[in-house]
Amino acid sequence: METIELLYLRHHKADCIAIQFGNIASLNNLVRKIKGIKWSNTENCWYLPLTETNYILLTNKLSGAANINNSHLKAFLEKRKRLSVVALSDQPKSTVKRKKPVSSTSPVWQLSDENILALDQFMQQLKLKAYSASTIATYRNEFIQLLKILKTKPVDELTADDLKRYMVFAMEKEGISENTAHSRLNALKFYFEQVLGREKFFWEIPRPKKAKQLPKVFSQDEVARLLNNIKNKKHKVMLMLAYSAGLRISEVVNLKTNAIDSKRMTIIVRSAKGKKDRLVGLSPVMLVMLREYAREYEPPKNGFLFEGLTKGTAYSIRSLQEIIKLAKAKAGITRPGGVHSLRHSFATHLIEKGTDVTMIQKLLGHNDLRTTMIYLHTSNKDLLKIISPLDDLDLT
């Protein structure tokens, strides 16, 4: 009996099943009648999209007509299943119905078995330490950048000198920024110290000095113009909340309906950055808008205040970022900044109104007062009192 090979094929940017066999007319006639089958001139074979349904269809149709050799395809599927353990979605679990299989074009596909195991251990330890989803995603991506460079060299064999050379390469050849360099070092430090239990040798690796950039801030007039150019009530209320209480974008979309306390005029922000809860004030204007929003959208009492497209899931961060981008364009605001700039603007405008900086620290949920002090540099309260020497000149 003739043999038909079922192989993995990457074709037209999609994962496919290639069907290969000798020049046998009877088999060719049988295969060409299979539903959805296509011929590739470049690969010189029949193929179908790689799905479980298509695999079952092929085996049912071809069984009895030929021996089926699926070892190549099976090896591919086993590797993909193994890699799915260390794959991490960009979206929180609550917004993902089903995790997509790892693509063969993914960076993790090129890793050696030893380094795939290292990545798996790295991910497990991050989850055991209960790091946030965003931190896990950042650390994972930074760790993978090193693993891609190593190819077959095991990552656990690297020394402090190896890591120094790698960081120089990453900054000079790859051109990573100072902030990215800090994130990458943090990820590597976690692996060698927390996963492998090595001695703390990362003090030997100098960290690049971060650029001291001021937060991007909108004026109060710009905030008003931005909000006035949003007609959808749900979108408007979300951005108003970010500004009125200095919330992060993740805090806005993950806010629960029962976090709003209209009697005490407070909002409780649960499990914010650093897994901390904090209490912020509820603006009377904001309360009116929230009540109007609730009457129109009827959010669940114990669920997300702002649900996404799928009932019971949080609103998409990416969608909210796109909303403010469109609102800025309509308002004619060219100043850089997104949703997080509303939080920066909240703090800056409070300082300009004379609010004590330690109170702002509590409202923003900062551990270190120095983090909050940067908003002193974004305020123009004291600058307005300074008279430029240019104003004293007698110019004609």
Active site amino acids: 248, 273, 340, 343, 366, 375
DSSP 8-state code for residue 238:
H
Q: How far apart are CA 296 and CA 290, in angstroms?
A: 10
- Burial environment of residue 160 by CB neighbours within 10 A (0 to 12, 13 to 18, 19 or more): middle
Give 396's contacts (C-beta < 8 A, 6+ positions apart).
Answer: none
Q: How far apart are CA 379 and CA 390, in angstroms?
A: 22
Q: Count CB neighbours of 332 within 10 A.
A: 10
Helical ranges in the chain per DSSP H: 25-32, 52-62, 71-84, 113-128, 133-150, 160-172, 178-189, 220-228, 233-245, 249-253, 284-297, 317-331, 339-352, 357-364, 369-373
Closest listed residue to residue 145, CA positions, set 100, 110, 95: 110
CA torsion angle 138 143 147 153 (round to 10): -170
Give 350's contacts (C-beta < 8 A, 6+ positions apart).
Answer: 360, 363
145-146-152 Cα angle (round to 5): 115
Helical ranges in 173-256 per DSSP H: 178-189, 220-228, 233-245, 249-253
